[in-house]
Amino acid sequence: MPDALDPRPYDALLLLSFGGPEGPDDVVPFLENVTRGRGIPRERLKEVGQHYFQFGGVSPINAQNRTLLDALRKDFADHGLDLPVYWGNRNWAPYLTDTLREIVQDGHRRVLVLATSAYASYSGCRQYRENLADSLATLKDEGLELPRIDKLRHYFNHPGFVEPMTDGVLRSLADLPEEVRDRAHIAFTTHSIPDSAADTSGPAEGHGDGGAYVRQHLDVARLIADAVRERTGVDHPWQLVYQSRSGAPHIPWLEPDICDHLEERHAAGVPAVVMAPIGFVSDHMEVLYDLDTEATAKAGELGLPVRRSATVGADPRFAAAVRELVLERAAAESGRDVTPCALGALGPSHHLCPVGCCPARAPRPAAAGADSPYA
């Protein structure tokens, strides 16, 4: 086998995701899993439960992950990369602990993790690392020999992530009525998080002013807006806005909300908006409900034409990017020369989260980082 496709020292890839309900009976236990100990108001939970019930109690996220698994396995096979791909979730079956147990029982010793979250933040990175540590603790109690786990670097600025989204924005612009198309604005959207979580996202030296979370999203938004201008010759004004806020109302979260933004753009005379959900890897419930249902209804009331652009999902370019990231990390880990691939102003993200990266409010053990209590 050619050297470039050598995944050693890794012997397994774990797709680590959020998980979601697969029927009406799953919705309440799923929400309990997600919010255990996180202080989400009851009213908010009822409301979010309704979003799931409106879609038959089925989150789109599991089907999306199954499709991504297929795409990854196909890409690896097509390129002669011999690396088994497993799937486990934080909040629903297949649960992370069960998948890790299976990985160990299949004899794997070095696991590389691909999380379905492209950016830094407590919710998007450290919380996954905490779940990995919890699962390792369970396996240790069961007397199993623990594998070593590493997490792939943040891939928000990888071309295989950015380019499919650029194409999506171009398609949405083309789909707008011709008379408003060239004056359309682009609203790049991502999950709102508490201001305090944004300010402390990423390594400590970059804390403050929205932290790595906001900077990384701004970099992706700028890359897409620049690529759209290059392809169409039109300079579409854009802004980074937020969606899916939860938590108590007196705690500040990132703003403006997409619905307020649409109202404000409409009042300012903007004739059309493309909503580009760059914060989500695939069509999660936040995309189907908060954008396709709620924000689209809001725009309808305003008489403002909007389009929602595609997420990356299982685009073959994303599957190829994962292969490149795996080989890049394997090379780095083996002391071989490698040039990490990244677009934009920020450069490739760190391989290992340093101590103090995206701190939790109440510190808990987290695996796959410089402060991991595991090997």
Ligand X SMILES: CC1=C(CCC(=O)O)c2cc3nc(cc4[nH]c(cc5[nH]c(cc1n2)c(C)c5CCC(=O)O)c(CCC(=O)O)c4C)C(CCC(=O)O)=C3C
Q: Which residues are annotated as a binding site?
A: 59, 128, 191, 286
Q: 316-333 vs 159-175: helix axis angle to the nearest 10?
A: 160
Angle at 12 between CA 11 and CA 13, to 5 degrees: 140
For the window 167-206, what string marks contact with ligand X as x by the rule CB under 6 A?
------------------------x-x-------------
Binding-site size, ligand X (CB under 6 A): 24
List b or e across 322-345, with b for residues whose CB sees 16 or more CB atoms inside 10 angstroms: bbbbbbbbbbebeeeebebebbbe
CB 112 within 8 A of CB 13: yes
Contact window for ligand X (CB under 6 A) among 102-110, 118-126, 147-155, 318-326: 118-126
**Separation of alpha carbons 32 and 36, rounded Å:** 6
For the window 273-302, what string marks contact with ligand X as x by the rule CB under 6 A?
-----------xxx----------------
For the window 298-337, what string marks contact with ligand X as x by the rule CB under 6 A?
----------------------------------------
Residue type, 252: P
For ligand X, the binding residue among 57, 124, 164, 348 (CB under 6 A) is 124
Nearer to ligand X, 362 or 375 (CB): 362
CB 61 within 8 A of CB 284: yes
For ligand X, the binding residue among 65, 131, 135, 246 (CB under 6 A) is 246
Write phi, then psi, for 22 (nearest 5 degrees): -115, 10
Does 360 interact with ligand X (rule: CB under 6 A)? no
Does 349 interact with ligand X (rule: CB under 6 A)? no
CB 50 within 8 A of CB 150: no
Looking only at residues 28 through 67 of this chain, which bind ligand X when binding is defined by CB under 6 A? 31, 34-35, 38, 40, 44, 48, 59-61
Does 247 interact with ligand X (rule: CB under 6 A)? yes
**Separation of alpha carbons 275 and 241, rounded Å:** 9
Angle at 125 between CA 307 and CA 333, to 5 degrees: 115
Contact window for ligand X (CB under 6 A) among 117-125, 161-169, 223-231, 354-362: 117-125
Which residues are near ligand X by CB under 6 A? 18, 20, 31, 34-35, 38, 40, 44, 48, 59-61, 116-117, 121, 123-124, 191, 193, 246-247, 284-286
